[in-house]
């Protein structure tokens, strides 16, 4: 049984993004979080678009504070109840 057996809408996303699944989390049964780098953002979004998987729901900015000296940007995509979040940390 893999992580996506209980979330059939995430299975296609996992297949589409197989090249980038090395740093992922499954925070919820129908959720997938991928930590990505800035140079990966456009190729990943292009693959999602070409495959017609979901749509961009929201973009969230997280200020990690002065001590961390970084900001994290979350790109939230949805396909029905399935949520894919691309987590991009910018120093």
pLDDT tens figures, 27-59? 677 788 899 999 999 999 999 999 999 999 999
Helix (H, G, I), strand (E, B) or coil at 86: strand
* CA–CA distance, 77 with 84 (Å, rounded to integer): 5
Q: Is the dihedral of CA 59, 61, 28, 15 positive or negative?
A: positive
| Residue 29 backbone phi and psi in degrees, to 5 | -55, -30
* CA–CA distance, 67 with 36 (Å, rounded to integer): 22
Whole-number pLDDT of residue 32:
87
Mean pLDDT of the chain: 85
pTM: 0.82
């Amino acid at each position: 049984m893999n992580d996506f057996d209980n979330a059939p809408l995430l299975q296609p996303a996992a297949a589409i993004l197989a090249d980038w699944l090395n740093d992922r989390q499954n925070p919820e049964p129908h959720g997938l979080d991928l930590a990505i780098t800035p140079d990966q953002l456009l190729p990943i979004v292009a693959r999602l678009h070409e495959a017609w998987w979901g749509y961009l729901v929201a973009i969230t900015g997280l200020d990690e504070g002065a001590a961390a000296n970084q900001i994290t940007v979350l790109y939230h995509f949805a396909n029905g109840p399935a949520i894919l979040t691309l987590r991009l940390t910018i120093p």
